[in-house]
Every structure is written in C-alpha cells, then in structure tokens.
Amino acid sequence: MNNFTPISALAGGIMIGLSVVLYFYTTGRLAGVSGIVENAITKKANRLSNIFFLLGLVLGPLLYGITKEPIAIAFTLPDHSFAITDSYPLIIIGGLLVGLGTRLGGGCTSGHGICGIGRLSSSSIIATVVFVGVGMLTVTILQQSGIYL
Amino acid sequence: MNDKVISLLCGVIFGLGLVVSGMTNPSKVIGFLSITHNWDASLIFVMGGAILIFAPFFYFLKNREASALGFEIELPSKQEVDRRLVIGSALFGVGWGLVGLCPGPSISALTSPGISGLAVFDPIVIIFLLSMAIGIVVNKNLLQKTIQNKKLNV
C-alpha cells in the first residue's frame, strides 16, 4: 500500500461531504453527479442550476492549481504506479458503460456511494457493493491479461 | 443567494475535494480497484469522510417542509433492488475499472493540474466525457423507453 494517502483522502472526502450537505440544505436535492449530468442534458427544470454545479466541478481544480503551493505541502500526492489507459477504444467503451450503467442503476459513486449510503438506503448499499465489486473484478482481469500493470 | 450561485459554489467545493483527495487521478482509483496487487485504500477514506459528514446532517434535514431556498425536498422514492439497479451498477463497474473515472472525477479531471498525469483539457478526458454523455442519453431515450413499453405490454 505504498500509494496510500489517508489524510488527503479524508480531507477531500470531508470537503465533498460539506458540498453535498450545502447542496441538500439549500436546493433540497441530492448531489449525485450522474443524475445532475443527465438532468443538465435532458431536463428543462433547473437546467441552469445543474449546469452551474458542473461548471463548479471544472472550476474547483483550477482554484486548487492557483493555491497549489501551500496546499501541496500539506497534501503531497505520491507517485502512482498505475497509469490510465491511452487506448481510445477502451476509453470510449468505458465512457459509454459509465454513462449508461450509472443511469440504468440510478446513481454513481456520489449518488449511491455517498448520498445513498448517507441516507442508509439499502438499495444504494447494494448498488455500491456491486459496482465496487465488479470494478475490482474488471481491474483484476485486465491485470491478469496484461492490459494493465 | 440564488440557487445558481449556490450550485456553482457546491460544484467548486466538490471539485476541490476531488482534487485534494486525489480522486481525479485515475491511477488512484485503479489502485483502489486493484485489490490483489498494490492495493490503495484511499478511496474508502474519501467516501467514508463524505458519508460521515452527510449522514448526520441528512438525518436532521430530511423532514423539512422545504429547502433553505424554498425548494421542494426531492428524495428518490424507495428504490427496489431490481435487475435494473444490479445490471446498471455492474455495467458501471466495468466502465469504472476500464478507465478509472466515474462521473464527478471525469469532469474535474478536465482541469486537474498535472497531478492526474493528464494535461488540462486532455483529449482522453474529453472523449471519455462525450462517450459518457452518449451513454446517458442512450439509457434515457432508448433503454428506459423500451423497458417502459415492455412493462405496458405485459
């Protein structure tokens, strides 16, 4: 576990939690990102609000870039031993499956994993176990067949 | 403050959290999914931290008449554990394992400076996002309608 970064992970997780709380407190909606993307694309109601949330997701990392020096000292991310695939067919298949799968299953890592488990929803707990389990199986198979390290 | 400003703010905090936690870095996520080799448990701390913050607030906020900005409280109706939930989550798991990106991080990865090993507005991330959007629309406009029609015909 030489890449394990529990402190920065917990710090980031708390920030995500605060965002989900503020969003639910003010708008009355749950911040599940796959749902927000679907609504931004396909629904007229609250469209601008949804687009602004997604815009925030793009702006947040830029803000981190600006303040990077002081934060970077506290939360240095170590080198990683796994690389993202550079195979476009794999990227496209992955993207299609993530889009279709999250909406068919009713949520993603934020909607089921954070909001759903936080609400103690049994279906979200099951969904999370399924996508984490299948994700682990997929990575293991890819490693065994030499596609990933 | 209106809901657009708040939504933007929430998105910014969420995106910052994703970068700080390292989740916009696909290799961190693959490291978590790589259970048999060099396992990286960081993702549990990200999800756990967020759940620990959200769960108590949710408990006290769920039964309000309306949100702080006067909106209706929108909670998912009790979802059944059906084939849709299981098959959808399994397909998501395959895609997640293939690339190491899920919806939130894939958007923030557009602008994650250097640390994800990806350039700003990296074509890999843009292609992934376009494919994800197509997947979402295919589910909404083809799959869900087909399922609905089948149910009506039964």
Q: Which of B2, B5, B12 to mutate to test the interface with A (most CBs of A within 10 A)?
A: B12
Min Cα distance A89 → chain B (Å) is 10
Kindly determine whether residue B89 and residue A101, on different chains, have CB atoms separated by under 8 Å. yes
How far is residue A98's CA from residue A51's CA, in Å, rounded to a whole number?
Answer: 20
DSSP conformation letters of B85-125: HHHHHHHHHHHHHHHS--HHHHHHTTS--STTS--TT-HHH
The separation between CA B35 and the C-alpha centre of its own chain, rounded to angstroms, equals: 21
Q: What tens digit of pLDDT does each residue of B89-138 get?
A: 999 999 999 999 999 999 999 988 655 567 788 899 999 999 999 999 99
Nearest in space to B104 (alpha carbons), one of B41, B22, B14: B14
What's the total number of domains in chain A?
Answer: 1
User: What mean pLDDT, rounded, does chain B reach?
Assistant: 92
Min Cα distance B16 → chain A (Å) is 5
A1, part of any domain: no
Residue ranges making up the domain that contains A82: 6-144
pTM comes to 0.94
How many helices and strands, by DSSP H and E, does chain A display? 7, 0
Contact between B115 and B109 (Cβ < 8 Å): no
Residues in B touching A19 (Cβ below 8 Å) = 10-11, 13-14, 17
What pLDDT does A80 receive? 47
Kindly determine whether residue B15 and residue A83, on different chains, have CB atoms separated by under 8 Å. no
CB within 8 Å of B148: residues ≥ 6 apart: none
Q: What is the ipTM of this complex?
A: 0.95
Task: Compare all CA atoms of chain B with the CA of A118 and give the residue at the minimum distance.
Answer: B55
What pLDDT does A73 receive? 40
Residue identified by tokens 């496209």 is A92
A91, part of any domain: yes
Q: What tens digit of pLDDT does each residue of B121-130 get?
A: 889 999 999 9
Nearest in space to A19 (alpha carbons), one of B77, B49, B69, B63: B49
Residue identified by tokens 């990077």 is A68
Residue identified by tokens 């065994």 is A144
Token readout for A82 is 């796994």
Q: Which of A15, A51, A129 to mutate to test the interface with B (most CBs of B within 10 A)?
A: A15
Query: Helix or strand or coil: residue B68?
Result: coil
